[in-house]
Each structure stands twice: as C-alpha cells, then as structure tokens.
C-alpha cells in the first residue's frame, strides 16, 4: 500500500553495549558504554557514514523490575544517560542522521515534551524525532507518584491527547513569526503567536510554547505499539513504527492493517515507515556467524532469561519450572507489550520450548527478530521482507556494539546499496526530507491564509 521509491529506510537502534542481554560481556563491546560519550559518538558517526536514516537510543524511566539476582547479572540497561541530553550532544558531532528520543506520554507533561523536542530540532538543524511510548510498567509509574501504570485503554487515550497537544504547541508560532527587525525594533509579529488553550479532564495547557516552530514543522513522530490500541494510535499519528514481528506473515498482516488504518484517518500510507526490529549476527561465512551467535547465547544466565521473558509477557514466571513449557493458560497479562505477549506465546505454543529455552531465545534479542548468516543471506532476507511489503525498512539492533554494528555496516550495507535497495547519499538536510515525509502545515496556516485573502 502506498507509493515507495524502492529504497529502504533504516534505523540504528542501540542499547548501550548492544541489543543482546549479555552484550556487555562480549569482547567486542564497550563495557562502560552506558556512561561513555565517546562510545556514542563513535556509533553515531558510523551510522551516519553508512547513511542510516535514524539513530535511536533505548530508554526507560525505571530500573527494570526483576529478582535481584537477575538485575545484578543482567544488562547495562540498569543505568544510562537520559536520551534528550545525549542526543543534543550527538547533534554537535553529526550532520545528517536523524536523532530519536523517547518520551513517555504517561509520565511527561505535554509542554515539556513539546519544548524539549522543538529545542532538539533546532539544535540539530531539523533532525529530531519523538518516540511516543505509553509506559505500561509499574516500576515506572512508582517513580512518578502512582502505584500502578494506567490501564491499557487509558494509556492510549492519553497518548492520543498528548500527541495532539504537543503538535498544537509546536504550532505556537508561525514559520515566519520572528522577523528580528533591528531598525523598527520588531522582534516577532504579535499576530503570528497563538495560544493553544487546551482544556480537558486530564490536561489544561494554555501555551504558547516558548520555542519557535521546529525546523521540520513537527519533529517526526514515532511509535512502537502492536496492540489494537497501538495500531490505532499509529494509524492516526505515527510517521515511523518500530514493530516487533518475528516472521514475514505476522509482519505483513501488521503492515497492511496499519496502512489501512491510515487511510481511515485520511492519511497517505506512504507517510508512515514501518521498520520491524532485526538483530543481526553477520560474519563473512554462515558458520562464523553461527559460532558468534552461539557464543553470546552461552553468556545468558537462565534466571536473566526467565525474568526478561516475564517482563515481555507481563506475567510473573518465578513460580514455574524452568524446564517445562509456558503454562496453558498463562496468568492474566498485566503489563508489558501486547505485541511481545502475542508473538512469544504463539512461538512457545508452536515449538513447545521450555521457559528456559524461550527465555534464552527472547532475552538475547529482547523479543525482537534475530537473523544469523552470511552477508548475502542477510541481504536476501531483508530484501524478501521489503519487496514483499511486509515493511518499509528495518530497525537494526546490533547484538553487541560497536563490533556487530561495524560488521553490518561493512559486510551488508554495500550489498544493499549495490542492489539499489538503499541510498548511497543523503538526499536532504532534514530527517523528513531523507525519509520522504512531508513537512506538516501549521494548524493556523489556512486560517491565516483565509484572513489574508479577505
């Protein structure tokens, strides 16, 4: 659905030392990546040299809730930089790549979100993107004075409203509001400033925002939900989606569903890029790639695997036997990602994996798709999904960094470019231009235009 220019969009997604839960133990990872700014500069510049669309940094507002043994043996993701601060620093050492930050619609005031991302867009020269998350974990809510996360439907209703408020605040000033005329003493046109005056049961936001309209009009809006409510939010608002699908069939069904929902909202399906997560182990030969995969899998502690699986399912598995399959039926889903829950339970039922096995399988790539192979095999796999319209590109999640990401850029990217599947140069100066997304018009533009015509 929707016109495509034959080129993939690619996002580079990083947990600090890599996407694999045991990445920090790998010899080709940077052990202190979570507090090492030089590491982030290196991976950002590598992604930009490869002409990636986006750089996305994983984030959360809490230490993951788990048994202490699992936390102490687990990933560097326990403590890391705040993303907007880090992305502002990376904006100074990059020129083209998009910079994606996460901000929860549940635990951030809309005004704060609007101000931070408008600032990042100006700092970066038009390369900012907001990853909208709804935060379904109690561990996060308890850091904001609330015992339990909002109910699923409430989180998504809230997200719809927050996105609308934030966009309204980004429209606070017309694009040409700031004339800065030193001779007349006119800094901005008073009629080009707009108060939002949003009022509802949840929010009262007067405005205007005290930052000029972003260079891109709006920073690119990104989302990751796979539940029905998540797909509805994506259909209404998302311009890129990080999806969790593990096979072509489910990815294709999701792709068609979201694109159809966009039509319902009067949107062009080409104006949302669906980028499923893909963790790639690639070496010059398939045998070497499998050896690398088996090695890092051997570093996963079984309790870590169980706890990450439990977190993804939103189900406490601590009372169940590690060496038996998932209980049927599972306890009620109370948190986490609905997309992960559906994908992982289906996989467990189909294969009969034990909790230990399913934990190791899901924990390694945190529930995302994993491909192990030679450069040609990886390129073939990506091309099949792209040409079959199961995606518009991929979110590349290197299992360990910088090593695995260097391998992908050096071994796979030249093949994708030779096949005409990916750009050889950036085509624009802003993220929207490089992703083929339109610059949104201000909600006040038509009103101002009709007033001028009269």
> To which residue do tokens 């399959």 refer?
325
Q: Please state whether beta strands 54-57 and 98-104 pair in parallel, antiparallel, or not at all (unpaired).
A: parallel
> Is residue 374 one of the residues assigned to a domain?
yes
Q: Which two tokens stand for residue 286?
A: 């398939």
User: How many distinct structural domains can be found in the chain?
Assistant: 1
Q: How confident is the model over 168-191, as pLDDT tens digits?
A: 999 999 999 999 999 999 999 999
Q: Which domain holds residue 154?
A: 9-287+369-453
The answer to whether residue 327 is domain-embedded is no
pLDDT in tens, 310-363: 878 888 888 899 999 988 888 766 555 666 778 788 888 888 999 988 888 877
Token pair of 329 as six digits: 């039926």
Give per-residue pLDDT as tens, 237-281: 899 999 888 899 999 999 999 999 999 999 999 999 999 999 999
Any domain includes 174: yes
Report yes or no on 347 lying in a domain: no
CA of 276: how far to CAs of 34, 106, 395, 422, in Å?
Answer: 24, 24, 6, 16
The pairs formed by 149-157 with CB atoms below 8 angstroms and a separation of 24 or more are 149/106, 149/335, 150/106, 152/227, 152/229, 152/338, 153/229, 155/105, 155/106, 155/229, 156/225, 156/229, 156/230, 156/232, 156/233
Whole-number pLDDT of residue 373: 98
Let me know if residue 306 belongs to a domain. Answer: no
Q: Is residue 157 part of a domain?
A: yes
Which residues lie across from 56 on neighbouring strands? 13, 100
CATH number at residue 449: 3.20.20.30
Does 351 map to a domain?
A: no
Residue 88 has pLDDT above 70, yes or no: yes
pTM (2 decimals)? 0.88
1-15: per-residue pLDDT in tens?
444 678 999 999 988
Angle between helices 375-387 and 248-264 (to 10 degrees): 40
158: Cβ contacts below 8 Å, ≥ 6 apart? 105, 106, 134, 150, 202
Report if residue 303 sits inside a domain: no
């Amino acid at each position: 659905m929707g016109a495509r220019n034959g080129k993939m969009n690619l996002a580079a997604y990083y947990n600090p030392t890599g996407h694999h839960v045991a990445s920090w133990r790998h010899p080709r990872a940077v052990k202190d990546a979570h507090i090492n700014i030089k590491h982030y500069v290196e991976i950002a510049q590598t992604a930009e040299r490869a002409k990636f669309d986006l750089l996305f940094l994983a984030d959360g507002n809490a230490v993951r809730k788990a048994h202490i043994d699992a936390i102490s043996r687990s990933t560097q993701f326990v403590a890391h930089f705040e993303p907007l601060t880090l992305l502002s620093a990376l904006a100074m050492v990059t020129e083209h790549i998009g910079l994606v930050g996460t901000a929860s619609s549940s635990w951030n005031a809309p005004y704060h979100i609007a101000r931070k991302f408008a600032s990042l867009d100006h700092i970066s020269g038009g390369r900012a993107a907001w990853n909208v998350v709804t935060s379904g974990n109690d561990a996060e809510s308890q850091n904001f004075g609330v015992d339990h996360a909002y109910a699923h439907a409430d989180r998504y209703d809230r997200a719809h409203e927050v996105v609308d408020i934030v966009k309204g605040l980004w429209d606070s000033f017309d694009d040409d509001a700031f004339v800065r005329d030193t001779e007349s003493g006119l800094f901005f046109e008073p009629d080009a400033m707009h108060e939002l005056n949003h009022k509802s049961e949840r929010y009262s936001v007067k405005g205007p925002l005290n930052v000029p309209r972003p260079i891109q009009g709006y920073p690119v809006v990104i989302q990751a939900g796979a539940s029905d409510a998540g797909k509805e939010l994506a259909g209404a608002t998302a311009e890129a989606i990080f999806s969790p699908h593990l096979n072509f069939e489910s990815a294709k069904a999701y792709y068609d569903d979201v694109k159809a929902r966009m039509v319902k909202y009067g949107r062009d399906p080409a104006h949302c890029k669906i980028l499923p997560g893909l963790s790639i182990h690639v070496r010059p030969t398939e045998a070497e790639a499998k050896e690398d995969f088996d090695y890092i899998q051997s570093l996963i502690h079984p309790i870590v695997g169980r706890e990450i699986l439990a977190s993804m399912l939103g189900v406490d598995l601590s009372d169940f036997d590690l060496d038996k399959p998932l209980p049927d039926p599972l306890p009620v889903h109370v948190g986490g990602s609905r997309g992960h829950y559906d994908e992982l339970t289906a996989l467990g039922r189909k294969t009969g994996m034990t909790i230990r096995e399913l934990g190791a399988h899901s924990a390694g790539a945190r529930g995302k798709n994993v491909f192990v192979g030679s450069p040609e095999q990886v390129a073939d796999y990506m091309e099949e999904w792209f040409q079959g319209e199961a995606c518009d590109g991929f979110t590349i999640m290197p299992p360990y960094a910088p090593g695995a990401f260097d391998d992908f850029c050096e071994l796979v990217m030249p093949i994708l470019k030779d096949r005409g599947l990916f750009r050889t140069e950036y085509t624009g100066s802003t993220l929207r231009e490089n992703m083929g997304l339109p610059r949104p018009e201000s909600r006040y533009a038509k009103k101002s235009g009709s007033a001028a015509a009269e």
